[in-house]
Amino acid sequence: METAEIRRRFLAHFEAAGHTVVPSAPLLFDDPNLLFVNAGMVPFKPYFLGQETPSFDRATSVQKCVRTLDIEEVGKTTRHGTFFQMNGNFSFGDYFKEGAITHAWRLITGSLDDGGLGFDPEKIWVTVLHTDTEAREIWKKVAGLPDERIQNRGLLDNYWHMGVPGPGGPCSEIYVDRGPQYGPDGGPEADEDRFLEIWNLVFMQEEITNVRAKDQFDVVGPLPQQNIDTGMGLERVAYLLQGKENLYEIDEVFPVIAKAEELTGRRYGADHVDDVRFRVIADHVRSGLMLMGDGVTPGNEARGYVLRRLLRRAVRSMRLLGYEDPALPALLPVSLDRMKASYPELEADFARISQVAYAEEEAFRQTLGKGTQIFDQQATAVKQGGGTGLSGEAAFTLHDTYGFPIDLTLEMAEEQGLSVDADGFRALMAEQRARAKADAKSKKGVHADTTAYRAALDAHGPTDWLAYTDLRTESRVLALLNEGAATPAITAGSIGEVVLDRTPFYAESGGQNADAGHLTWSGGRAEVLDVQRPIKGLVVHQVRVLEGELTLDTTLEAQVDSEWRTGARQAHSGTHVVHAALREVLGPTALQSGSYNRPGYLRLDFGWGGALSPEQVRDVEAASNRALRADLPVSASYMTLPEAREAGALALFGETYGEQVRVVEIGGPWSRELCGGTHVEHSSQIGTVVVTSDSSVGAGNRRVEALVGLEGFAYLARERDLVSQLSGLLKVKPDEIPGRVGDLVERLKVSERELEKIKAAELLSGAATIAESGKDVGGTTVVAARLEGVGGGDLRTLALDVRARMGAERPAVVALFGVVDAKPSVVIAVNKPGIDAGLAAGDLVRTAGEKIGGRGGGKADVAQGGGTDAAGVESAIAAVEAAVGGA
């Protein structure tokens, strides 16, 4: 049975039992404590925590999940996978233990003809919490399981909670006996390889607090309502029903391994080391596909870094299997072909996905090229110094600075007969991770306390939010907060947070800055600094009280700065216009991946493989301004998410949308996007769009920045003034400026070349004088001099010329020190008789470098270096002469 069919049967089973089918949330779910969705219940967490009320009593879903803690373990065992799918059914105060057990038993043991999964009832074992006699009795009643196939386990195995105060409860896990060839008899307690867990039924019935460990917490009491949360591992069920050994061999994963076999000529199952690489490739290609499908782009931080690691580990594993051509163009379409049955949106968006992936692989291939050069240099230096191993610091630099994988460093070092200080490398990596975790914790916090906000919402209900229609409201103060705690007043000069019964202020979201403005009341005034939604339904204003004192129940006037709002509307609508113009000029794959706008300014990130040409930038700007001149109508309407998708509305990847979404149109289908921002009423009100830059923000991702409205006109006015000034200085018409500047640049280049010739002639004319200054040092003629204002190539040219004048009758050494801007440099040249006598320029330049606070290197005949201490030049000359005399 194919994985997609198992998925279909699961959803159909629960839909027939009255459950609402909820689509999978994006992997980039809006949870400050998660990098990605890592469990099926995550999208339902606000319901279980009582933060929101669901519109259904029972639901079912197949949730996309990614877990990143085990990336390094992927492939080493067959249990670890990065991307997986979790089937789940959920009850919110509806059915409880008996309902959950009944639904599960009917599905897993139901006949294939009746829509079930067809597992043999005699192969099913379950576990329950040792104190949960109720669950044990239900299993005996519903499934007829004997006592010996219902095993008791402790809190560590059979109690669920989120690790923080909140809901919890016992759980019951369902296992399938795979047979004696997989291990000893005796149920899950004896062997969890033979007895494989496929489903966990969680009975949320208690509120817990003071959580110290998974099995250490205090129970407050029963929850107001009992809930059900279950999770069935889709991949595990798939390999059991497909008769496979592990998740890497199922129909959604193994075809990538088969393609890798074809490309590399290696065979899966022949060698453990190769098998690990094949599994890494299969897992990471599929995981990367799903992450890119949900809008993640490769980068150096957070989610982008995870994706970059996955793609690069896959490419690297192909290299280690002997395949050095671009691999993702061959592998990614195979994974798409297997996943599109369950996620058809992947095929519709594959042009963008593949563009991002292939650009990342090309960037990595270039990284490998650079890293290989650096590695070769370091390996050579180690060997020349008589060493046998690469330091941990060197390996870490290759990894951290050049993106060079440690296992590739290990492989190449082994090829050259060198070891690597892997322990030192791991220590440096651990330090880096610790710094990163500390930084992330300081920025993000853990389970931010929303107690005060929740209390305000519970006491007064949601804020009447009027930002789409009003700039001014008469409002009442419902709550005041200071550093997250309720306070009776905010005094003059202080900053605090204010909750109003109604507000016209836009709260920051969707890339749009919050509104600016003021609150005024009898005897007082406050400046609005920021507006946020810390929890759904509640708008909170951060204010600085300028006059008077703000207290609870005060009636006041909330006034948005109208100029600010006008600029914000222009910028947000301008963002939509530029996005549509990009797709018009570049094609439909140029899709937005992020944005930010404030009055007068916008930036938009989008998927694209390379820099835009000047012509493309002009075309995007022209398409944007044509839309403004056309005075296109701007409208907003509400519909369900499926209806919006059917209408062709574009959604910003990574955003979380409710059942009803707001669709903003500019010119009908020309620009149709899901958006919660404030907008102009006609495109002409944007004023103008001036594209000011195009830049890279990572492989496969670009950023355009633009100015709109008065800021755009001001930018153009500055450009006009600049052209006017240049026209006056050059005494030409504006359109003649480029030609005139080109002529001046060419004349300057000619003059510089002539100046270089004169300078070189002057230098060489002094070569004879310098050559005559030589003195005998132990049978070798040494010419040493300090030359002010001479450096770089000039110093080298002069040294070689002086050496040529010394002839080849006797050994000679030329050591010239140049000083430019108080920074010394040195070039040492040795003639052939000197080399035959055992002198080497490379050794002498290192001797000189020690005295001028630097270093250098080169060959026996010529070497050069630099330093930081010009006062040491005389000492360096003496050191060189001493070294020559002692040779």
**Residue matched to tokens 């074809």:** 262
Q: Phi/psi at 824 (nearest 5 deg)?
A: -85, 150
Q: Which residues pair with 271 in a beta bridge?
A: none
- Which residues, other chains included, contact 143 with Cβ-Cβ below 8 Å and sequence gap of 6+? 101, 105, 109, 121, 124
The secondary element (H helix, E strand) that includes residue 464 is: strand 464-465
| Distance (Å, whole) CA 191 – CA 185 | 7
Which amino acid is residue 80, in one-letter code? H
Q: Phi/psi at 525 (nearest 5 deg)?
A: -155, 140
Determine the Cα angle at 545 with ends 543 and 551, to 5°.
90
Sign for the pseudo-dihedral over CA of 204, 206, 212, 214: negative
What's the gap between Cα 388 and its chain centre? 38
The secondary element (H helix, E strand) that includes residue 787 is: strand 780-788
Q: In what side-by-side order are the strands of the sheet with 660-666? A: 634-640, 660-666, 671-674
Using DSSP, state whether 128 is helix, strand or coil.
Answer: strand
Q: Which of 802, 864, 858 minimizes the C-alpha distance to 828?
A: 864
| Distance (Å, whole) CA 455 – CA 545 | 24
Virtual CA dihedral for 544, 550, 556, 559, nearest 10 degrees? 0
The answer to whether the CB of 465 falls within 8 A of the CB of 457 is no
**Distances 528 to 517, 554, 600 between C-alpha atoms, Å:** 5, 16, 20
Q: Are strands 419-420 and 389-390 parallel, antiparallel or unpaired?
A: parallel
Using DSSP, state whether 465 is helix, strand or coil.
Answer: strand
Residue 403 burial (CB < 10 Å; 0-12/13-18/19+)?
middle
| Distance (Å, whole) CA 550 – CA 556 | 10
The answer to whether the CB of 824 falls within 8 A of the CB of 791 is no
Q: Which residues pair with 346 in a beta bridge?
A: none
The answer to whether the CB of 751 falls within 8 A of the CB of 743 is no
Return binding residues for Zn(2+).
572, 576, 675, 679
- Please give the radius of gyration of the chain, using alpha carbons only, rounded to the nearest integer: 35
Region of 300 please: left (phi>0), alpha (psi -120 to 50) or beta.
Answer: alpha
| Distance (Å, whole) CA 256 – CA 30 | 31
Residue 301 burial (CB < 10 Å; 0-12/13-18/19+)?
exposed
| Distance (Å, whole) CA 618 – CA 690 | 9
Q: Phi/psi at 171 (nearest 5 deg)?
A: -135, 165
**Residue matched to tokens 């005094």:** 491
The answer to whether the CB of 195 falls within 8 A of the CB of 181 is no
Return binding residues.
572, 576, 675, 679
**Distances 236 to 80, 85, 104, 207 between C-alpha atoms, Å:** 11, 10, 16, 31
Q: Which residues pair with 150 in a beta bridge?
A: 126
Name the H helices within 632-782: 641-646, 709-730, 737-765, 767-771
Q: Are strands 195-213 and 58-66 parallel, antiparallel or unpaired?
A: unpaired
- Which residues, other chains included, contact 884 with Cβ-Cβ below 8 Å and sequence gap of 6+? 777, 778, 780, 782, 813, 839, 844
The answer to whether the CB of 636 falls within 8 A of the CB of 644 is no
| Distance (Å, whole) CA 290 – CA 285 | 9
